[in-house]
């Protein structure tokens, strides 16, 4: 069984968050050749539906960097942060970084203590809250705006042993999740379920949360727009996301089959 695993933002999606016709054509062709196609994203599922054609959502989908795995509409795996420790972490962040912008992903909903448009430039569906008076629940991930944090390492040093923070988006976003949550661990779980070898996986990505799967899958491909550190972890470097990098690589794989 041959498997394609791809990140979304900065990888499969162009900068305007769309998928090019060329990329869609290549995705359909490689699935028609018998490949399994899996999306692995930091996004929640609600932010994937409508962007990816339903054909590719009826299979396995890795969300929240691996904190959730779906088969179609069925949630088959989850690994959440416990509510009490999330509360302690959020209150510590607020006490040590006054005005820090924090959001929580809980049960496929986003809760934030700021206007999310300040970071995204668009309006995702979210609930504005005061975390000083909030009923904390098991959480898929804590998102922290690091743009005004001088020493992100201090946050990691504070976190309990079973929490970890991955810094993405050019160093501006901290994504805190359970230490066992990663795209690669989700891929390993699916390899056990489906019986494929990691050597038969081609993985595409551009950011630090993609590095483990780029490094450990059989063929790890970094996008041309990835950081130099991510590129060094890859077997090879594709064109940029705006220049159909994933499509070009899929076309190369298809050509080798014919």
User: In this structure, what CATH number is given to the domain that contains residue 158?
Assistant: 3.30.1240.10
pLDDT class for 117, splitting at 50, 70, 90?
confident
Name the residue among 42, 75, 38 with its Cα closest to residue 187: 38
What is the Cα–Cα distance from 178 to 159, expressed in whole angstroms?
Answer: 10
- Are 158 and 89 part of one and the same domain? yes
Residue 8 in contact with residue 43, Cβ under 8 Å?
yes
Residue 121: its pLDDT value, please?
Answer: 47
Task: Give the Cα separation of 187 and 41 in Å (integer).
Answer: 12
> Does the pLDDT of residue 180 top 90, yes or no?
yes
201, two tokens: 């996986």
Tell me the average pLDDT of the chain: 94
Of 138, 163, 178, the last residue of a domain is 178
The predicted model gives 115-142 an average pLDDT of 84
Q: Is 71 found in the same domain as 104?
A: no
| 116 CB neighbour count, 10 Å cutoff | 18
- CATH label of the domain that carries residue 60: 3.40.50.1000
Is the pLDDT at 123 greater than 60, yes or no? Answer: no
Structural domains counted in the chain: 2
For 77-111, how does the pLDDT look when each residue is reduced to its tens digit (9 = 90+)?
A: 999 999 999 999 999 999 999 999 999 999 989 99
Tokens for 158?
């504070």
Which tokens hold the place of 80? Answer: 């959440």
Whether 91 and 115 share a structural domain: yes
End position of a domain, from candidates 178, 207, 236 = 178
Query: Which range of residues forms the domain containing residue 94?
Result: 83-178
| pLDDT band per the 50, 70, 90 thresholds, residue 38 | very high
pLDDT at 195 over 90: yes
Decide: 198 and 214 in contact? Cβ < 8 Å: no
Give pTM, 2 decimals: 0.93
For residue 124, what pLDDT is reported? 66
């Amino acid at each position: 069984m041959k498997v394609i695993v791809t990140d979304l933002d900065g990888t499969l999606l162009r900068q305007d968050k769309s998928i090019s016709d060329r990329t869609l054509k290549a995705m359909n062709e490689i699935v028609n050749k018998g490949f399994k196609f899996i999306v692995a994203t930091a996004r929640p599922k609600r932010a994937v539906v409508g962007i990816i054609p339903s054909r590719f959502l009826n299979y396995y989908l890795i969300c929240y960097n691996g904190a959730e795995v779906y088969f179609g509409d069925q949630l088959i795996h989850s690994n959440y942060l416990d509510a009490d420790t999330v509360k302690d972490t959020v209150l510590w962040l607020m006490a040590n970084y006054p005005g820090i912008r924090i959001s929580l992903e809980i049960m496929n909903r986003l809760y934030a203590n700021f206007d999310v448009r300040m970071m995204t430039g668009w309006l995702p569906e979210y609930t504005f809250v005061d975390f000083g008076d909030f009923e904390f629940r098991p959480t898929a991930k804590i998102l922290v705006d690091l743009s005004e944090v001088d020493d992100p390492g201090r946050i990691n040093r504070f976190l309990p042993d079973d929490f970890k923070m991955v810094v993405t988006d050019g160093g501006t976003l901290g994504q805190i999740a359970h230490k066992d949550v990663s795209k690669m661990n989700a891929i390993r779980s699916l390899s056990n379920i489906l019986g494929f070898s990691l050597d038969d996986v081609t993985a595409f990505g551009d950011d630090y949360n993609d590095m483990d799967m780029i490094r450990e899958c059989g063929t790890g491909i970094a996008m041309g727009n990835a950081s130099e550190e991510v590129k060094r972890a890859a077997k090879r470097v594709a064109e940029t996301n705006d220049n159909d990098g994933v499509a070009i690589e899929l076309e190369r794989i298809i050509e080798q089959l014919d």
